[in-house]
Amino acid sequence: MSKVKELMEKRNDVLLKMTAIIDKAEEEVRAMSETEQQDYEKYKKELEALNATITAAEERARREAGKNPKTQEEKTEEEEIRAFEKYCRGETRALKLGDNGSIMPRTVVEKIITKVKETCPIFELADLYNINGELVVPYYDETSSAITAAYIEEFSDLVEKSGDLKSYTLKSHIIGALAKVSKKLINNTDFDIVGFVVNQIVKSLREMIEKEALTGESGKIKGIFPNAKNKVTAEDATITGDLLIDVQMSVKGPYQEKAIWIMDRSTFREIRKLKDGDGNYLMIRDFATGGGWMLLNKKVYLSENAQKFAASTKVLAYGDMKGYTLKIGKDIETQILQEKYSSQYAVGIEAFVEADGAITNEEAIAVLEMGAGA
- The rounded average pLDDT for each run of 10 residues, N- to C-terminus, in the chain (374 residues) is 75 83 84 90 90 86 72 76 75 49 66 65 86 79 58 60 68 85 76 77 82 87 94 90 96 94 94 92 83 90 90 94 91 78 82 90 95 72
Per-residue confidence (pLDDT) for residue 322, from 0 to 100: 94
Per-residue confidence (pLDDT) for residue 184, from 0 to 100: 77
15 contacts 190 by C-beta, under 8 angstroms: yes
Per-residue confidence (pLDDT) for residue 1, from 0 to 100: 47
Per-residue confidence (pLDDT) for residue 95, from 0 to 100: 52
Per-residue confidence (pLDDT) for residue 101, from 0 to 100: 47
CATH topology of domain 98-136+172-374: phage-related protein like fold (3.90.1690)
Per-residue confidence (pLDDT) for residue 145, from 0 to 100: 54
Per-residue confidence (pLDDT) for residue 99, from 0 to 100: 42
* String of DSSP letters for 211-224: HHHHH--SSSS--H
Per-residue confidence (pLDDT) for residue 202, from 0 to 100: 77
**What whole-number distance in Å separates Cα of residue 323 and Cα of residue 368?**
17
Per-residue confidence (pLDDT) for residue 217, from 0 to 100: 80
Kindly list the distances between the CA atom of residue 333 and the CA atoms of 95, 99, 337, in Å, as whole numbers in the listed order.
Answer: 11, 9, 13
Composition of the chain by helix, strand, coil, percent to 5:
45, 25, 35
321 contacts 210 by C-beta, under 8 angstroms: no
Question: Which of 102, 88, 100, 353 lies closest to 206 in space, CA to CA?
Answer: 353
Phi, psi of 33 (to 5 degrees): -70, 170
Query: Which residues on neighbouring strands pair with residue 351, listed in sequence order?
Result: 177, 334
**What whole-number distance in Å separates Cα of residue 207 and Cα of residue 116?**
10
**Pairing, β 97-98 against β 101-103:** antiparallel
- Spatial CB neighbours of 214, under 8 Å, sequence gap ≥ 6: 122, 223, 224, 225, 262, 303, 305, 306, 307, 317
Per-residue confidence (pLDDT) for residue 92, from 0 to 100: 57
